[in-house]
Structure 1
């Protein structure tokens, strides 16, 4: 019997509902329960695939090829449970499904309405694709009061009634702001937020109150009284020293205990949070430090690289060092001497991206790393720019470019028009839709014997997640390999370059996939672990 926990947010956005949900799931896992996590997003995009990273943050890709909200990255990093397409839905996808049913005549000529048709579709999504999970945690995006979220709130109100208290509960994440002139925390925003939730028929069972300081007992009692919740169910969600301290902190505040009490489950035995204590020990008491320069084009919103920054942290955890990130706008390298900007870093990371803007800066970063023996890690677009750099400066192809930037005499990187997914041939065209048309999800890659990546992974075949529309042209392979650049990872049919590396460089690897999406604090990705090891070696040589 799966129990459902619905997590809503109030007062302001960016309170950390996703992190709170993931931390609670980690606590429940530590008690021996099997969990699944889901995100319900109220925006009208079918998925976040076409949304700007500087507005929405990164797009997280699942093994089965879904482009999803970045919170699913939190879910995977905290629980280790692989997300699926069925774990993220948007209002756009819900309405699209309802309208497709209407066009087919599935509603038998009836008037299609938000209630019951849209809300029924939301409920179907929440309840589907579950097997033996003990808990399913469903986070509702946005803030209570947003007009877009009303159908989702109505759907969980109905589910609360249909499932009953023994199978459903609502956790509301809210804000307790501190007013310096008054010298106290203010509970009124929380009261108004809960009142807004009550106006749509939902009584929260637990309040998670975000605050930068402990909540006095008087305020806690006041919140419980005015919001009609048990005083022990007013949980202080305090700012943490590290996000990996949050499961420990929330357990100390009694969150998972109160959840177990609500569902009449055993709660006396404490959860086994030992792995989180180990992780926190390494994060807070490192034995050294390395500096990684991240050369990107979406640095105005660091959530654009959320999984990347976390994976670098995981590489630091594996090496017991602190990873300091220097965010460098790729366009800056087009104007300044790379040595001035990158001279003090121990490693250079060039992440994925789209479009020509900043591409020359990324190419110059690759040149600097190659010529100065600085560890270089290029991901997706970062790999493509490293290959173009090699073609221009070593292989005698000065016009080498990507067809993504327009017509080229030497289209070293070109648009993929077809590829194999298992036994299925997938086809795309340049004039097709942008949404959901890339090479998405987990694909096999075969690693060359004797290569650095084969040594790092310790296996011949890997499966990594992709999200790209352009690919390095394998027809240039021999010409590029003559310069010392090795194509050390290829698709099973040998047609799609997946990994390149330099034989005579301390650590220079480019990958077409996104390894950051599979890294976890308790299971760091081997490429990030090895990259930070190389950066640490360089820092000790300086």
Structure 2
């Protein structure tokens, strides 16, 4: 049976529980253990699929089509273990399942309560699929004291008793702030956070203390004394130059060693951190730099394009260059000339998105990339913008647009109402719930022989993750091809364009899927690797 590790947070949000969980998973993996990570989110949404990127950040999509929390992206990038819909659950989904069981009469007329029915459902989810791994890491979203999180904390408290001392560990991540005016680190917030946790019935085994300044031994001893934790298990978590330093940094301060001691393990193999050393060396010692303009619409929240930003970094690692990402709100181009902002960049990327705002600005960015021979990468909505730009400016279809934004005369992008997934026909309509109208998860594609993308992938069959409602309208592909924008990747049945490119352009590729979701620091995605290579070449030409 797997040993379970529960990671909770206190004081404030955004301390990095997801990264800490991912880094710990990578450390255990580096010692030869098999790990799995999952996220328990207390909010009442059934999933993050309909939540605004401005509030929640990106939605991460798994191969099996689950729309999940962005922390699952961290888990996959650090461990390489593919997540699934079994690895992220919310209060909304828990309550939905409990109510459905009650409606079916499965509780036999008993009063349905948070304890035991909701907590039992959480425990069932936490334990699912744990038999085939050595360690299962469960991150609890939010912070201790949040009212919506209480059922989750109660559930893991119960699990601690159910599993026994040698099969569970509690890690609590807190903040040790530095007050510049006083010139001191303050331990009181951590003390109060642990007091709140202990009031629920959970005694942390390890404290992970986030701080911008080194935490002296005396302060660690003080924290341990007040929080009933040995000083050696008060682990400093300091700011790093790159998140990919985290596995090595945590190992250097004994995080993984102390965790294994909690489980009574003292003879574990030493971790092999060779690949992490390589990644960190590449980040810190690049041979050059490229400027990539990301022209999107969710620029207020840094995490809105988290996987995309990391995939660009991975492309830089593959080419041994630093990627300087310039996030540009596409709305700017609707009032100012695109050249003002894009002159001198080495590559232009237009990412996914939904809705009409900023569309004309994205189209302007595509036009600039096409006319000035700047490497262009369009992802999902970015592909749609490339199709619209070509249709309007080269095919003279002035009213060309997507039906997402109305009823244009030339709907070059339209809602596909039927497609095949595996051996099942999926359907959707304009009136289907927003959470159910998208083509979600991994789908295969067949690449055209001799195409740029076949060269990039080194294969003519691929599988990539999708999250979108609208597709390229095949009624227009011949007109587009006549002007240079050709379909170079199709769904296996030949009905859905998956990739389009301009062969006469140095690097102009648009894809219907989200390749950033499969990129890893030690295994950069082929498209990002090739895009950054083209940007490096562009940099030598300008």
TM-score (norm 1): 0.99
In structure 2, what is the Cα distance between the partners aligned to 1:31 and 1:495?
46
Name 1:528's counterpart in structure 2.
528
In structure 2, what is the Cα distance between the partners aligned to 1:198 and 1:103?
36
Name 2:214's counterpart in structure 1.
214
In 2, are the aligned partners of 1:261 and 1:267 still within 8 Å (CA)?
no
Name 2:364's counterpart in structure 1.
364
SS of 1:331's partner is helix
| CA apart distance, 1:270 | 2.5
**Structure 1 residue 244 and structure 2 residue 244: aligned?**
yes
Query: 1:77-136: per-residue Cα shift (whole Å, max 9, x none)?
Result: 000000000000000000000000000000000000000000000000001123320000
| CA apart distance, 1:269 | 4.3
In 2, are the aligned partners of 1:171 and 1:207 still within 8 Å (CA)?
yes
In structure 1, what is the Cα distance between the partners aligned to 2:523 and 2:155?
36
Name 1:426's counterpart in structure 2.
426
Name 2:189's counterpart in structure 1.
189
In structure 1, what is the Cα distance between the partners aligned to 2:336 and 2:396?
25
In structure 2, what is the Cα distance between the partners aligned to 1:173 and 1:532?
36
SS of 2:162's partner is helix
SS of 1:166's partner is helix
| CA apart distance, 1:520 | 0.2
Name 2:416's counterpart in structure 1.
416
Name 1:273's counterpart in structure 2.
273
**Structure 1 residue 502 and structure 2 residue 517: aligned?**
no
Name 2:311's counterpart in structure 1.
311
Equivalent residues in 2 for 1:4-403, closer than 5 Å: 4-267=4-267, 269-403=269-403
In structure 1, what is the Cα distance between the partners aligned to 2:442 and 2:479?
29
| CA apart distance, 1:396 | 2.2
Query: Which has the larger displacement, 76-85 or 477-486?
Result: 477-486
| CA apart distance, 1:274 | 0.8
In structure 2, what is the Cα distance between the partners aligned to 1:436 and 1:236?
43
In structure 2, what is the Cα distance between the partners aligned to 1:198 and 1:176?
19
**Structure 1 residue 461 and structure 2 residue 461: aligned?**
yes
Query: Which has the larger displacement, 436-445 or 301-310?
Result: 436-445
Name 1:451's counterpart in structure 2.
451
In structure 1, what is the Cα distance between the partners aligned to 2:27 and 2:303?
25
Query: 1:366-411: per-residue Cα shift (whole Å, max 9, x none)?
Result: 0000000000000000000001101111112111100000111111
| CA apart distance, 1:266 | 3.4
In 1, are the aligned partners of 2:429 and 2:437 still within 8 Å (CA)?
no
In structure 2, what is the Cα distance between the partners aligned to 1:477 and 1:382?
17
5+ unaligned residues in a row in structure 2: which ranges?
none
Query: 1:116-173: per-residue Cα shift (whole Å, max 9, x none)?
Result: 0000000000011233200000000001000000000000000000001100010000
SS of 2:444's partner is strand
In 1, are the aligned partners of 2:31 and 2:268 still within 8 Å (CA)?
no
Query: 1:192-250: per-residue Cα shift (whole Å, max 9, x none)?
Result: 00000011100000000000111111111100000001111000001011100010000
In 2, are the aligned partners of 1:39 and 1:89 still within 8 Å (CA)?
yes
Equivalent residues in 2 for 1:455-494, closer than 5 Å: 455-494=455-494
Query: 1:342-381: per-residue Cα shift (whole Å, max 9, x none)?
Result: 0021000000000010011011100000000000000000
SS of 2:333's partner is helix
SS of 2:434's partner is coil
SS of 1:440's partner is strand
TM-score (norm 2): 0.99
Q: Kindly report structure 1 stretches of 4+ aligned residues shifted beyond 3 Å.
A: 266-269
In structure 1, what is the Cα distance between the partners aligned to 2:60 and 2:268?
37
In structure 1, what is the Cα distance between the partners aligned to 2:179 and 2:394?
61
| CA apart distance, 1:436 | 3.5
In structure 1, what is the Cα distance between the partners aligned to 2:334 and 2:267?
58
